Amino acid sequence: MLEGIGDTMRVSITGELEEEIKVGRAILKDSGVAKEGLNIISCPTCGRIEADLVSAVAEIEKRTAHIKTPLDVSVMGCVVNAIGEAKHADVAIAYGKGKGLVMVKGEVVANLDEKELVNRFVQEVENIAEKAM
């Protein structure tokens, strides 16, 4: 599709049809074809994970669904993956043991307790989205 070949993409996953639509939209955002809303990059929850990342991503998706500005954001369960991803993200979270970092354009803007991270992250995303309008 990026090379102008074809006009249809089919995504199949085990589960509800709605999940296939979400995955398809995520692929289009990540490839740069779709340019609306957040492109959320999160880790695959490996053995290094130090937070409930699934719940954090779900909360972030819910609280940022209204944002139409195209932004790349990163939600990582450990610092190992977060450092690389944060360099390319508009806003990023790097979880640690009970704490974590919020980064904007690769720069640390907050070092907070885990329970405060999502609120600060959403605040930073909303600020950037508002400035871009």
Q: Provide the whole-model pTM.
A: 0.78
CATH fold of the domain at 38-132:
Sulfite Reductase Hemoprotein; domain 1 (3.30.413)
Dihedral sign of CA atoms 59, 63, 65, 68 in order: negative
What residues have CB less than 8 Å from 71, skipping those under 6 apart? Answer: 37, 38, 39, 90, 91, 125, 128, 129, 132
The pLDDT tens digits of the residues spanning 39-67 come to: 888 887 777 888 888 899 999 999 999 99
Cα–Cα distance, 10 to 33 (Å, whole number): 15
For residue 90, what are the CA distances in angstroms to 1, 71, 126?
26, 6, 11
Domain ranges of the chain: 1-34, 38-132
Give the pairing type, strands 38-42 and 71-76: parallel
- pLDDT digit string, tens, across residues 92-105: 999 988 999 999 99
